[in-house]
Amino acid sequence: QVTLRESGPALVKPTQTLTLTCTFSGFSLSTSGMCLSWIRQPPGKALEWLARIDWDDEKYYSTSLKTRLSISKDTSKNQVVLTMTNMDPADTATYYCALMDITLIRGLDPWGQGTLVTVSS
């Protein structure tokens, strides 16, 4: 069974750097075809895709946020880390990680439960 769980600070101050961790089980991110994405959702608003890292360490970023984002993986720990610099109140959102096995399903499945991050001084 594949599970994902996001963790990180619930509250960050403006201008600080956010570091989020996605810890997963049930698959290996070194297996060909596995891709893990981060997606966020401000309260009451739509989903926004942020970044993706693949089994071969290929990385992709949202065009509008790429200067602020960095994604990395630690295969031995079954973790993917997302950092976002220069946080702003507009970055207040629930942050999700989600899996895609590109060889099977071009869809994000499953998703973690999400972690709410509030940006406030």
Partner 1 sequence: QSALTQPASVSGSPGQSITISCTGTSGDTSSYIYVSWYQQHPGKAPRLMIYDVNKRPSGVSDRFSGSKSGNTASLTISGLQAEDEADYYCSSYTTTWVFGGGTKLTVL
**Binders of partner 1 among 7-26, rule CB under 8 A?**
none
By rule CB under 8 A, what string of x and - marks binding of each residue 59-78 to partner 1?
A: -xxxx---------------
User: Any contact of residue 91 with partner 1 (CB under 8 A)?
Assistant: no
Q: Output 16 or 65, the one with its CB closest to partner 1.
A: 65
Q: What angle do CA 98, 48, 94 make, to 5 degrees?
A: 70
User: Any contact of residue 107 with partner 1 (CB under 8 A)?
Assistant: yes
Q: Which residues contact 77 (CB under 8 A, 6 or more apart)?
A: 23
User: How, if at all, do strands 69-74 and 93-101 pair?
Assistant: unpaired
For partner 1, the binding residues (CB under 8 A) are 37, 39, 46-49, 52, 60-63, 96, 98, 105-114
